[in-house]
Amino acid sequence: MTPELDTTTAQSAVPVTRRRGLGRLAVIAAVAGPGLVAANAGNDAAGIATYASAGSQFTYGTLFFMVLVTIALVMVQEMAVRLGAHTGKGLGALIREQFSLRLTALAVFCLLLANTGLVVSEFAGIGAAFELLGVPKWAVVPPAAILLWSLVLFGSYRWAERIFLLMSLAFFAYPVAMILGHPHWGEVGKHLIVPHVEPSKDFILLAVALIGTTVSPYMQFYAAAGVVDRGAKPEDYRLIKLDAVLGAVFACIISLTIIIATAAVIGGTGPLNSAAQAAEALKPVAGQNAELLFAFGLIGASALAGAVVPLSASYAIGEAAGVERSVSRSFRDAPLFLGLFTAQIVLGAVVAMTPVDVIQLLIGTQVLQGLISPIVLVYLLVLTNRRSLLGAAANSPRYRVAATTVVVGVAGMSTILLVQTVLGWFGLG
């Protein structure tokens, strides 16, 4: 990968196997990241609120459902990065080329609709984190918006991305809190392998929110675009796939520990009403510093997603319009791409400054994501099924059946919630 690995005479004595190992590490360094970043961005402010609410409201009742959602995320992320690696194009560009103008407009509209609420929730999450530390959100949200915008437009987004990921590592405290919270391991094991469904609107609502926060539409657009933006090729696919799969599994393991930790400490208390309640689950490991630790992780996770979410929409629209789109370009070279990014940041920060119910906003945006996810997943499934597009890399018959089952399952949950909501409007729910 790097010239010095095979052109320097002094290195000729290095064993071939070692040099190959160094070469592989260089490839990993070059292509690893989009899958991990996209999946971990899902563990943002809205994600944490949703998982914690699942534990506080239904204790261990959603664990088996989350196992199914994890399988779905692995498959969906793999399909997204496979498209990017084998076509050299992002999901937005492929939708523009393979579908009609109306269907392309539908995909872009759905992504913008879902992302708008999500960007607001990320800045609301940043504000909520600082309020835990006694700092009012009006003193934090505008500077945070300017910082994120500046990092992408003038600084090094890749460097900032790593900083945000490091800050998000504070959520590693949840696995520790899960153990120290002494959950009922028998119940945990049972609910991980035995399906559990409650015929209530609240359970269905939270289930759809779990889908929305775990298999968010923006994640597929970002994962595919990130692979393309880094210049990955078909021969790099195995490492790209590894990044996507491990990233998805890692993110979902953290999600499961959040549910279990919350269930063990405050399970059965009902829906969350504040960020402070979500921090309660960290008390077994952090004691009185639980809110401080939670705030630190929330800031990192929200900042990461605050950059990734608007970038995913900018990538998608830039690809659909066929214009320049890259974080390495200047405003003059990519005005639409960076202009859309700027507009989303401004809108998100302004709305987050209004007196909103943060927890309800966070969970509500995930419900919206869950309703829109099936539409985006259909595009992804159709594209990865097409041998005219991917050739031998297209979905195999078995993979096609499994992926179709995932899409139908997600669509079914969304439809049930939609029907329940409509019936509720007429007093029939």
- The pLDDT tens digits of the residues spanning 132-143 come to 888 888 888 999
Which position has the token pair 């200047």?
330
* Domain boundaries along the sequence of the chain: 28-385+396-425
- At residue 38, does pLDDT exceed 70? no
Which residues does 133 contact at the CB level (< 8 Å), separation at least 6? 291, 292, 295
> What does residue 303 show for φ and ψ, rounded to 5 degrees?
-65, -40
**pLDDT-derived band of residue 327, with 50, 70 and 90 as boundaries?**
low
What whole-number percentage of the chain has pLDDT above 90? 16
- At residue 7, does pLDDT exceed 70? no
Q: Looking at the whole model, is its pTM more than 0.85? A: no
How far is residue 228's CA from residue 94's CA, in Å, rounded to a whole number?
Answer: 12
Q: At how many degrees (to 10) do helices 91-98 and 217-229 cross?
A: 100
Q: Do 111 and 313 meet the contact criterion of CB atoms below 8 Å apart?
A: yes
Question: Mean pLDDT of all residues in the chain?
Answer: 80
How far is residue 79's CA from residue 65's CA, in Å, rounded to a whole number?
Answer: 21
DSSP tally for the chain: helices H, then strands E: 21, 0
For 320, the token pair is 């659909």
- At residue 44, does pLDDT exceed 70? yes
How far is residue 386's CA from residue 395's CA, in Å, rounded to a whole number?
Answer: 8
Amino acid letter at 15?
P
Least confident of 63-77, 215-229, 400-414: 215-229
Indicate the helix (H) or strand (E) that contains 301: helix 290-321
Which residues does 184 contact at the CB level (< 8 Å), separation at least 6? 60, 264
- The CATH number of the structural domain formed by 28-385+396-425 is 1.20.1740.10
Indicate the helix (H) or strand (E) that contains 364: helix 358-385
Q: What is the pLDDT of residues 365-397, one digit of tens each?
A: 777 777 888 888 899 999 999 999 988 889 999
Q: How many residues does the chain have?
A: 429
Nearest Cα residue to 325 out of 118, 162, 142, 96? 96
**List of long-range contacts for 408-414, beta carbons under 8 Å, 24+ apart:** 409/68, 409/72, 410/72, 410/211, 410/215, 410/370, 410/373, 410/374, 410/377, 411/374, 411/377, 413/204, 413/207, 413/208, 413/211, 413/370, 414/208, 414/211, 414/370, 414/371, 414/373, 414/374
- More confident position, 43 or 246: 246
Integer Rg of the chain from CA? 21
Which position has the token pair 């609910």?
191
Q: How is 150-208 classified by DSSP, letter by letter?
A: HHHHTS-HHHHHHHHHHHHGGGGHHHHHHHHT---HHHHHHHHHS-----SHHHHHHHH
For 31, the token pair is 């292509």
pLDDT at 190: 93
How far is residue 131's CA from residue 274's CA, in Å, rounded to a whole number?
Answer: 11
pLDDT at 8: 38
- At residue 200, does pLDDT exceed 90? no
How far is residue 58's CA from residue 268's CA, in Å, rounded to a whole number?
Answer: 6
**pLDDT-derived band of residue 155, with 50, 70 and 90 as boundaries?**
low
DSSP 260: H
Least confident of 137-151, 174-188, 239-253, 328-342: 328-342
Half-sphere exposure of 12 (CA within 13 A, CB side): 4
pLDDT at 192: 93
